[in-house]
Chain A
Amino acid sequence: MEIPYTISTRPDTGLWNAKIGIWLFLASEVMLFGGLFSAYVFLRLDARPGEWPHGLLNVPIGTMNTAILILSSVTVVLAWAALKMRRYRAYWWYMLATISCGLIFLFVKLYFEWPQKFEHFGAFIKPEAREKYEQYLGNHHRESKGFEPRIEITGHLENHEALHDPNAKEYEIAVDPVFLDPNNPVNDRPHFLFVPPTDHVVKIEKEDVDRIDSFGPWHSAYFASYFTITGLHGAHVLGGVLVFLYMWLPVSKKVYQRNPEHLANRVEVSGLFWHFVDLVWIFVFPLFYLL
């Protein structure tokens, strides 16, 4: 039996069926991401001074990934236009470009951004012990300027065994550069370029530390929401890539040969999904990377 209204419009809706279907699905997606974004707003407004970290993500890489996603949105709409103009060859290339962009985005996320986070540690200093580490935290300077205090010392943890060894008295952290010059006004705000931890090891006594964690979801409400939202977004990118792969493979050429408009409509609805994924990222990028 033929599936009705894949190309022609249904009289009562004025649309072909997949179009209304994808928009209903996107409406549910708006609710899914909307819930997470409202949780983000809630957690952020609720964070005490200094608790919401700034400048821990790699901005140049994030900017590049944003550009890649925008580029893929352009190529997918061009792929659709090529089908409308009955240029299968051009469609094939645009689709390949879209799939590649999606894969590069995921690759950057999974091999550069996330693993870096799991190797970076932050030691939250107890409020009463912060004076002791003033030379690294620079909170007198920050207070005089009205900035939120620094409550953790971050960097590369040199003695991992101290995490589990009850006899170990201190953590050795090769600190991030900001802690070596905390009173310098250039360090008042995050920098654009990502700077790796220095060789300078700071010893922090275990009893002065509230807790120490790598930059995983367990580190803070910030990283919990970062991993939840970018993880869900990444799953959407993967889903889109898989659908596009199907549209790109020779199987879909048969659909094109039978009725080119059918494939064009399929590409249009999957493109709508892809643009939505791009749209979510347009908000994720400034909220997590820049603000």
Chain B
Amino acid sequence: MNNPPDIAQDPAEHEEYAHGVHQHVSRYLMVGGLLLFFTLLTVALSYVDFGGFFSWLFHIHVSPDGGRKLNITVAILVAAFKASLVGLIFMHLAAEKRLIYRVLVFTGLFVLALFWLTYFAWYDPITR
């Protein structure tokens, strides 16, 4: 999962290095194929009635509203998986310098706080 190292000045070393990049290329193509596959999968899954499926599988009653929530959960999970593929492979986050991870940890915390603020507004006792 290592990124290509910084370019070497020595031609012989560069030859070896270029070979390394070449191996990365096949990985990028594979990830691209996976992303396309998961796009089609997410479209197909959105037309599956998960509520009905779960009722049948576990012999429980799932309301249409509950079924919708199941569909939403599945779609978000697939999207999160696709997003992590893009992040880890295309954006090289699988192997990055520590400073960038630090920046991203804070970004994650702040964006969670942002979502939490909206959630908080939902329970606003004044307008409700």
Tell me which residues from 1 to 33 in chain B have a Cβ below 8 Å from any Cβ of chain A: 4, 6-7, 14, 17-18, 21-22, 24-25, 28-29, 31-32
Stretch of A28-36, A231-239, A248-256 at the chain-chain interface: A28-36
Output the least CB separation between B38 and chain A (Å): 9
Could you say which interface size class chain B belongs to? 35 or more
Output the least CB separation between A65 and chain B (Å): 10
Output the least CB separation between A66 and chain B (Å): 5
Tell me which residues from 68 to 117 in chain A have a Cβ below 8 Å from any Cβ of chain B: 70-71, 73-74, 77-78, 81, 84-86
Q: Which residues of B contact A14 (CB under 8 A)?
A: 97-99
Q: Tell yes or no: B57 within 8 A of A by CB.
A: no
| Residue among B47, B63, B100 making CB contact with A189, cutoff 8 Å | B47
B75-97 to A contact mask, C-beta < 8 Å, 1/0: 11011001100110011000001
Contact A283-B79, Cβ < 8 Å, known A31-B114, A66-B39: yes
Q: CB within 8 Å of A: which residues of B?
A: 4, 6-7, 14, 17-18, 21-22, 24-25, 28-29, 31-32, 35-36, 39-40, 42-43, 46-47, 49, 63-65, 68, 71-72, 75-76, 78-79, 82-83, 86-87, 90-91, 97-100, 103-104, 106-107, 110-111, 114-115, 117-119, 121-122
Contact A84-B83, Cβ < 8 Å, known A27-B104, A59-B43, A71-B32: no
Contact A272-B91, Cβ < 8 Å, known A38-B115, A46-B122, A291-B46: yes
Output the least CB separation between A277 and chain B (Å): 10
Q: Tell yes or no: A145 within 8 A of B by CB.
A: yes
